[in-house]
Amino acid sequence: MKFHPVRSALFFQRLLSSPLHIRAIHTSLPPSSPPSVRIFRRLAAPVSSFFLFYGASQRAHPWITQIATSTTINSLGDLNAQLLFPASPDAEYDYTRTGRMALTGTLLAIPVNAWYTRISYCFMTLPNKLAIFLRVGLSQAIFTPIFLVAFFGVQGTLESKSLGEIKEKITITGPRAWRDGLVLWPAVSTVNFALVPIEYRALVGGAASLGWNTWLSYLNSKNKRSVEVQEVVAGAPVVMEVAAA
């Protein structure tokens, strides 16, 4: 029997195009995922990779990771504050102010990490719900006021304010910031202590801190502008009297 290339090619072409062959191929391959699922997996892959990287970094180098997280969050918070709440419509971006916020985040990163790490291991013998309630309550009642005093104190020092001016800023702005924090931080802390593994709590808190630090930066800048306006208004009558004389 002779081999005919043309006839063989026609035979395989008919075989590959036959419904029976197509049906066999479809039954032999595993069913593919819907397009929406494949798109979601592709979009979620970078996010899941980042979470894995962050968790490993937090376990291996907790202080370095916390400093990097806090510095970045504070910088982005001030960036948002300047863009969302500008001092005036034609105000230029203040890079020095962002630098002060970044340095504040760097200095306060370790105390914040130390507090939430220590308190996560407190009340371990109590029922879970009671332990979470005590951790959240103590964080809001003890740590948050201390943090706000440190935050506005560091900001005032970096702004070259006097001790009296720093005290005035803390007295005026601190209580309002603490009251505003009651809207956000008890809920965030409850979710963190109840559901989030300890190596990811700084990341969840950092995400919430992005909005919180935006507000703190705005309050700090607002208080600064209020003092400047009061100084100008207080000096105005003196100028007028000198001009009248």
- pLDDT by residue for the chain (245 residues), tens only, comes to 554 544 544 554 554 445 544 444 444 445 556 666 667 677 667 777 887 888 888 888 888 988 998 899 889 888 888 888 787 778 889 999 899 999 999 999 989 888 988 999 999 999 999 999 999 999 999 999 999 999 999 999 999 999 999 999 899 888 988 988 888 889 999 999 999 888 888 888 888 877 777 777 777 776 555 443 333 223 333 333 333 33
Task: Find out whether 101 and 77 touch, Cβ atoms under 8 Å.
Answer: yes
Q: How far apart are CA 140 and CA 177, in angstroms?
A: 12
Task: Find out whether 209 and 76 touch, Cβ atoms under 8 Å.
Answer: no
Q: Where are the domains of the chain?
A: 35-244
Phi, psi of 139 (to 5 degrees): -60, -40
Q: By C-alpha distance, which of 153, 146, 147, 150 is closest to 168?
A: 153
First-to-last C-alpha distance (Å) of the chain = 128
Q: How far apart are CA 99 and CA 58, in angstroms?
A: 25
